[in-house]
Amino acid sequence: MAEHFYYSIASGSTGNCGLYVSGGTAILIDVGVSLRRLTAALKTFGMTPGELDALVITHEHIDHVKGLAMFVKKTEVPVFASCGTVSALCAKEAAFEGRLTAFESGEAFSVGDISVRSFATPHDAADSVGYILESDGYRFGFATDLGFVPQSAAALLRGCKTVVLESNHDPYMLQAGPYPYALKQRVAGPNGHLSNPDCAVFAAALADSGTKRLILAHLSEKNNMPALALQQTKNALHGREHCTVCVAPRDCMEAPVVLTEEETVCLVSG
C-alpha cells in the first residue's frame, strides 16, 4: 500500500465515507454507509472495520453517519467528532453516550502517526468541521459540506498535497431542478453546499499554493454531473499541469478501483 493513500468508499447525496492511510495508521472519514458495505470495501485491502485506528466525523447529517450506530456497536474503534456534533448525535441515540470523543472545533489531536487538525465549515449542521491530516510533512485536506470556503479554512487547506473538495452542484441545474424552492435556497446559501464554479475558483488557488491532487466530492445526483464538475475545475486549472483533478465515485463498489484522471476514480495514492 502507498505511503499516503485515500480511498473514496462513497461520495454524494446518499452517503459519504472515505479511508485515509498514512504509514501504518488508517483513519475513516465519516460513515454514511452501512457496516456491511464498509466491510466489503475494506476487504479490498485486507482490512476489517475493527482494524481502523479511528473514525472522524464531519457532522451529524444522515448521509455522513448512516452506519454509525452499528459501527460503535460492533467495533471498539475510537470515534472523534466536534462538541456540537457529539451533542446532536447523543440527543438522537442514547447508545452514543460515552462512546464518542468530543473536541472543540479548530482543535488538533493525534491518531497514531497522524496529526488531525479540525476546522469549522459553514453548513447547516450543529458544529460542522473539515480536517487536515498530516504526517511526515505530507498534508491531506478534507473539505465538503460547506456553503463557501472561509478564509480560516482556506489558509489551512493551502499547501496540502491532496485535497478532497466539495463540488456539489451546478447553479443552473439546481435552479431548474426538482427541489422545492426552500431547499434550493438552502443548498445554494452560505450554509449549504459548494457549487462547481466556487469549487473551481478555490481549486485554482489551491494549485497555486502547491496542491498536486484534487478529488471532487459530494456531487449531487440531481443537480450535477461528474463530467460537468470535472470540466469546470479543469478549465480553472489551465496552465497548472502539476495539479491533477478527478471525481470521487458515488459508490466504489460499482466502479473499478483505478481509472485514469479523465474519469471518476475511487483510489488516489501518493
Say yes or no to pLDDT of 58 above 80.
yes
Q: How far apart are CA 67 and CA 84, in angstroms?
A: 19
Residue 196: all three cell numbers together: 462547481
269 SS3 class = strand
User: For 133-163, how does the pLDDT look when each residue is reduced to its tens digit (9 = 90+)?
Assistant: 999 899 999 999 999 999 999 999 999 999 9
Q: How far apart are CA 74 and CA 84, in angstroms?
A: 24
Residue 258: all three cell numbers together: 483505478
**% of the chain beyond a pLDDT of 70:** 93
In this predicted structure, which of 92-96, 118-122, 195-199 has the lowest mean pLDDT? 92-96
Residue owning grid cell 426552500: 182
Cα-only R_g, the chain: 17
Give the mean pLDDT of 257-268: 41
pTM over 0.75: yes
**DSSP summary character for residue 15:** -
Handedness of CA 40, 12, 55, 159 (dihedral sign): positive
Give the mean pLDDT of 1-27: 89
pLDDT score at 264: 40
Q: How far apart are CA 266 and CA 236, in angstroms?
A: 22
Query: In Å, what is the CA distance from 82 to each residue of 103, 106, 118, 233?
Result: 5, 9, 8, 30
Say yes or no to pLDDT of 265 above 70.
no
Contact 252, 264 (CB under 8 A): no
Contact 12, 252 (CB under 8 A): no
Contact 30, 128 (CB under 8 A): no
197 SS3 class = helix
Residue 125: all three cell numbers together: 449542521
Residue with the bigger pLDDT between 265 and 171: it is: 171
Q: How far apart are CA 145 and CA 32, in angstroms?
A: 13
User: For 212-225, how does the pLDDT look when each residue is reduced to its tens digit (9 = 90+)?
Assistant: 999 999 999 999 99
**DSSP summary character for residue 169:** B
pLDDT score at 249: 87
Please enumerate in sequence order all residues whose Cβ is within 8 A of that of 46, keeping only pairs 6 or more positions apart, or say none.
none
Residue with the bigger pLDDT between 269 and 175: it is: 175
Please enumerate in sequence order all residues whose Cβ is within 8 A of that of 38, keeping only pairs 6 or more positions apart, or say none.
9, 17, 28, 31, 49, 67, 71
